[in-house]
Amino acid sequence: MILPHSHDSADRVDSALEASREGMRALWISLAVLGATAAAQALVVVSSGSVALLGDSLHNVADALTAVPLGIAFWLGRRAATRAYTYGFGRAEDLAGVIIVLVIAASSVAAAWFAVDRLADPRTVTALPWVFAAGLIGFLGNETVARYRIGVGRRIGSAALVADGLHARTDGFTSLAVVLAAAGTGLGWRWADPVVGLVITAAIAFVLKDAARAVYHRLMDHVEPELVDRAERALRGVLGVHDVSGLRLRWIGHSLHAEAALVVDSDLTLLAAHDIAAEAEHRLAHGVPRLTGATVHVDPASHPGVEHHHGVRLKARPHGE
Q: Where are the domains of the chain?
A: 9-219, 225-315
Residue 60, pLDDT score: 74
Burial 239-252 (b: 16+ CB within 10 A, else e): ebbeebeeeebebb
Question: Given this chain, do its domains 9-219 and 225-315 carry the same CATH topology?
Answer: no
Q: What is the mean pLDDT of residues 287-293?
A: 86
Domain 225-315 falls in which CATH fold? Alpha-Beta Plaits (3.30.70)
Q: Does 1 score more than 80 pLDDT?
A: no
Of 94, 88, 64, nearest in space to 16 by CA: 88
290 C-beta neighbours (distance < 10 Å), count: 17
Q: Which tens digits make up the pLDDT trace of 230-273?
A: 999 999 999 999 999 999 999 888 788 999 999 999 999 999 99
What percentage of the chain reaches a pLDDT higher than 70? 84
118 - beta bridge partners?
none
Q: What value does the mean pLDDT take over residues 289-317?
A: 63
pLDDT band at 316 (very low <50, low <70, confident <90, very high): very low
What CATH class is the domain 9-219? mainly alpha
Mean pLDDT of 134-152: 90
Average pLDDT, the chain: 80
Euclidean distance between CA atoms 37 and 45, whole angstroms: 12
pLDDT for 200: 72
Q: Which residues contact 148 (CB under 8 A, 6 or more apart)?
A: 26, 29, 30, 165
List the single range of 42-51, 89-98, 247-256, 289-298 with lowest mean pLDDT: 42-51
* pTM as predicted: 0.70
**How far is 107 from 59, CA to CA, in rounded Å?**
8
Cβ burial of 42 (10 Å; 0-12, 13-18, 19+) is middle
Contact yes or no for 249/258 (Cβ under 8 A): yes
pLDDT at 157: 80
Q: Could you tell me the pLDDT band of residue 9, with boundaries at 50, 70 and 90?
A: very low
Confidence category of residue 10, pLDDT binned at 50, 70, 90? very low
